[in-house]
Structure 1
Amino acid sequence: MNRRNTPTKEAVLNLLINAKKALSHDAIEKQLSIAINRATIYRVLNRFCEDEVVHKIVAEDGKQYFAICKKCKNEEEVKPHFHFRCTSCDTIECLKIPVEYTAPNGYTVASANCILTGTCKNCM
């Protein structure tokens, strides 16, 4: 669906494109160079998820993080993959490990949320 481009959408998208890791709503709000209403940021992020521009990662504590989809950067198609959350620095990053699973007969998987938790290589 074609959506109108706004300064808010552009600011959030540029922040996510330049981020080296997945960002929470709070981190996005703090890092934006323009003042944007919290609810507006949520709406923008949800639209980006609907349009498959970003993907949402839900950590084991329920906190949501957002990362740019590879296909938005003209790379290969995004497939379900693992994420890693460091309990020391609270960084969440996409891992290039594909998730392989088999659903039982009669089940269709619409999405997968696979997160590994521990200590990252920078905090060891």
Structure 2
Amino acid sequence: MAACPLTTHVLNTGDGVPAARMALSLHRLDSKLMIWNMLTVGTTNDDGRCPGLVSREAFTPGMYKLRFETGSYWESLGQNSFYPYVEVVFTISDPGQKFHLPLLMSRFSYSTYRGS
């Protein structure tokens, strides 16, 4: 099986731990209809990672978004948060590359960057 071209790692920086068991979904924009089509759903593992998000064949040039269900994650820990979800929108022009999209979050902030 070919390596997944897109990976993510979610870290709960407020507690200094991986964000385990967070639901997320990957979507691609239909540029003609201007609507988002869901490609896959997943849940982070104990290390805050969600392997197998998308196959290399399904990962074509275009605009994508990863939606992280942050509000539900914090609720599962008995805490509230300011953001009910986080959506990170990004453009892929060369799907042959490897892309890593980490999410660093606390209950009242988040940050992301393009890794490799």
Whichever structure has more helix as a proportion of its residues is 1
Provide TM-score, normalisation by structure 1. Answer: 0.29
Whichever structure has more strand as a proportion of its residues is 2
Bigger Cα Rg: 1
Provide TM-score, normalisation by structure 2. Answer: 0.30
Choose between structure 1 and 2 for higher RCO, CA contacts under 8 A separated by at least 6 residues. 2
